[in-house]
A and B are shown apart, each in its own frame.
Chain A
Amino acid sequence: AQTVTQSQPEMSVQEAETVTLSCTYDTSENNYYLFWYKQPPSRQMILVIRQEAYKQQNATENRFSVNFQKAAKSFSLKISDSQLGDTAMYFCALVGGANSKLTFGKGITLSVRP
């Protein structure tokens, strides 16, 4: 069985500052993929960033980067220069092995304050 844990239900950050969202996971698979999805209020869920477990280098996408600690099974998302449009619910998710099904964490609500 796979599990994804997001222990912080809510966070708040001042515009232009940096915030880190934490996520831990557990899987018995050797080959797996990790994702952060963003779901703004009343809007579509979109992929923010992905990380292949076999890659040691941390993924980055513009202001978004991850800190992937494979041994610790940790996958945190760092948002730099936070913008008002970053206000959303963020879900950490895992796909393992040949399975295509996503295991989601409970999500964290991020509010960016002006």
Chain B
Amino acid sequence: EAGVAQSPRYKIIEKRQSVAFWCNPISGHATLYWYQQILGQGPKLLIQFQNNGVVDDSQLPKDRFSAERLKGVDSTLKIQPAKLEDSAVYLCASSLVADEQYFGPGTRLTVT
């Protein structure tokens, strides 16, 4: 069974630029999550999708971050414009419903 796929693995951008991350969950998993992990901290949930719908986006900085999940499968997370404090690892996870989550390798973003 293929795991959660994410791309790119690494990205370096300058502040005020935009960036997008892609996630492909495990086949059949209805729930998809995006987490932000700042160095030295545990991951923090940014947004949770159930199929196409948003379940929780309470910690998503909506003035600069956006996310979508087309057709209930792949998802993209976008940052526009990026700030220095957005430097982090962005992790995507999926689960069948709301149970055990499986994580992808993450995308390491550096904003200079």
The yes or no verdict on A and B being binding partners is no
Tell me the A residues contacting B by CB distance below 8 Å: none
